Structure 1
């Protein structure tokens, strides 16, 4: 089994790191296509030292059974044009936001095995969330293998293709919204006299702990919120201020706008 990864940006490297750490594929059976990494004077990290690196997309695809397109949606059509004559019978896995199977299949045969995945950047610390959609020609063993890859740096869930834009807006873009929230919490702590280091540690761990409570307790977020909000207490006073500032509405609008942009990228 051989794997090609085209593009070694943040997500490409996160995928590669997960695969290697989980020992899903041996390093010698992985070929990565990335012009910067292939430069003779570029220092590849020790973690990736045993994989094959090339600047030639065609070579990577030709030598692989599975091909992960870890490139931005703005350039994926150039990559697809480059590899289309070498991708027959390969399993094609795209992580490009908004680029649907209708677009992808224009470059391959009608029965091409295409998988769309929307991962997110917490994959860099093995806490990613990836949504997967499989075209009808993908076999059960191929699905299992791809799930193993994306589970190596987080969790996965299977979705319908018409849900992928919503996934992109929520979990794809969502980390950025969470980072803004953490920054705002920390700023508030600094405003009240905490050091920046202490405030940031408190804010980040609070968000991490809150997320784990949702995932592990099985309780609805509203129920967990009510457990913190004592009558006439500090928390309900803060919640009222958030409601006054339309906090929920702003978050919903942010996800909606991000999902709309994902739709635009696929046109």
Structure 2
């Protein structure tokens, strides 16, 4: 049984632990948080142990760093005081490149991960970037962990900012469009409850259709767009408003901000 220790017990750590427990995976799970009551509370929900920092570092084969980016520097400095050889370190902190981790912890096997908030319902898509010291077995362990949250894909670390723009921040784009659709529905005469229900259920149905149909987004769009019909009129309005350009500029801003954040950790 592989021992995995979570440093930080926020929403993402809770989601991963939930997935590992529900999936009946063979991990021995421990958790540490600077706010000890948070780790203790999590241990009342799931079959895990709340332990000290020294215990989690020394006893875990896999260390899962689930802290905010602003706390990573101090955490890595604390970890550097321990012998990490042979341990797998997984970090989900946004905007920090593999090179920064490997400069601070040169002997450690590091995997950088960008999940998204759909982890909470075990429907995430996670990007995994593998450090130079990561073995095949450790890569398999990482993939096994994040597979319980949904789908995952291995990419080069240099592509992580682009992935962040597509999937890391992506759920918010769909939520925002759904919000705007509901607002438009109200302006067109629906009640707020009616518009919120219709917009959110349309998002759910479209996502399920995309997942289960085996068709591309373009194919699904074309299938519901009759020539000169109602959907056609809406899509033409999107095109005239240069929605494609608007989406690209937004995602470029996301990727640029991720790149700027990486620049803060050199």
Q: Same fold (TM over 0.5)?
A: yes
Question: Is the alpha carbon distance of 1:95 and 1:41 closer, same or farther for their aligned partners in structure 2, counting shifts above 3 Å?
Answer: closer
Runs of 4+ in 1 over 6 A off after TM superposition: none
1:103 aligns with 2:103: no
Q: Supply the distance in 2 between the matched residues of 1:158 and 1:42 (Cα, whole angstroms).
A: 33
Question: Is the alpha carbon distance of 1:40 and 1:137 closer, same or farther for their aligned partners in structure 2, counting shifts above 3 Å?
Answer: closer
2:159 is matched with 163
Could you report, residue by residue, the CA deviation over 1:163-222 in whole angstroms, capped at 9, with x for unpaired residues? Answer: 111111111111111110111111122223333333223222222322333333343322
Question: Is the alpha carbon distance of 1:9 and 1:195 closer, same or farther for their aligned partners in structure 2, counting shifts above 3 Å?
Answer: same
Shift of 1:75: 1.6
1:64 is matched with 60
**Partner SS for 1:4:** strand
1:126 aligns with 2:122: yes
Shift of 1:67: 0.6
1:2 is matched with 3
1:90 aligns with 2:90: no
Unaligned residue ranges in structure 2 (runs of 5+)? none
Aligned residues between the structures: 261
1:210 is matched with 206
2:249 is matched with 253
Could you report, residue by residue, the CA deviation over 1:45-82 in whole angstroms, capped at 9, with x for unpaired residues? Answer: 7433x31224x434321220001111222221111111
CA contact (8 A) 1:11 1:70 kept: yes
Q: What is the TM-score normalised by the length of structure 1?
A: 0.90
Q: Supply the distance in 2 between the matched residues of 1:88 and 1:122 (Cα, whole angstroms).
A: 33
Q: Supply the distance in 2 between the matched residues of 1:143 and 1:41 (Cα, whole angstroms).
A: 27
| Cα RMSD, aligned residues only | 2.1
